[in-house]
Amino acid sequence: MSLSDSRLELVQGDITKVTADAIVNAANSALVGGGGVDGAIHRAAGRELLEECRTLGRCPTGEARITQGYKLPARHVIHTVGPVWQGGGRGEAGQLARCYQSVFALVEKHGLRTVAFPSISTGVYGYPLEKASRIALREIRAALERLPSVEKVTVVLFTPWDLEVYRRALAGEPEPEGGLGR
């Protein structure tokens, strides 16, 4: 469903089913699993993922850590901790951008060619989807320009609504006043 780069794809689905060099986990700072995407990835990967995460210590907001994928179809999981939305005036946009930058630094370091992202921070962390989608796509496009070795970035959205918001952002449509609502 890419509108501007054959290496960028938007899909609705379950990120735990994606075959890629790495999938990205919207993790909590303790890296021990939780709700939403984080819990689903931990459940699908199996106990070994939690055991490896425990050896990594904490992960501050905006940073990323890499582990094996274990029972997932992805070889690796890159865990990143997004910001909790506090109204937008506390550096949330920069922190969210750093999540993507940190993930791509690990993609480059480990020579990964395919990576799948969820919508980071838009679940229980409350980041507005319209705003987060634009930051995500800006950072993904910048990484694709900088890293020709990356063959495919897939953004896996959980609901049709999430996919539509990302599709509009990818098409360059202006962010609606007050958001689109659900």
Active site residues: 38
Q: Hey, what are 130's tokens?
A: 């319209």
Going across the sheet that includes 114-117, the strands are: 8-12, 152-157, 114-117, 22-26, 76-80, 64-68
Q: How far is CA 181 from CA 45, 130, 161, 173, in A?
A: 33, 10, 10, 16
Could you tell me if 75 and 44 are in contact, meaning their C-beta atoms sit under 8 angstroms apart? no
Element (H, E) at 12: strand 8-12
Please name which of 86, 84, 79, 104 lies closest in space to residue 96, comparing C-alpha atoms. Answer: 84
Q: State the Cα–Cα distance between residues 149 and 111, nearest whole angstrom.
A: 8
Q: State the Cα–Cα distance between residues 78 and 24, nearest whole angstrom.
A: 5
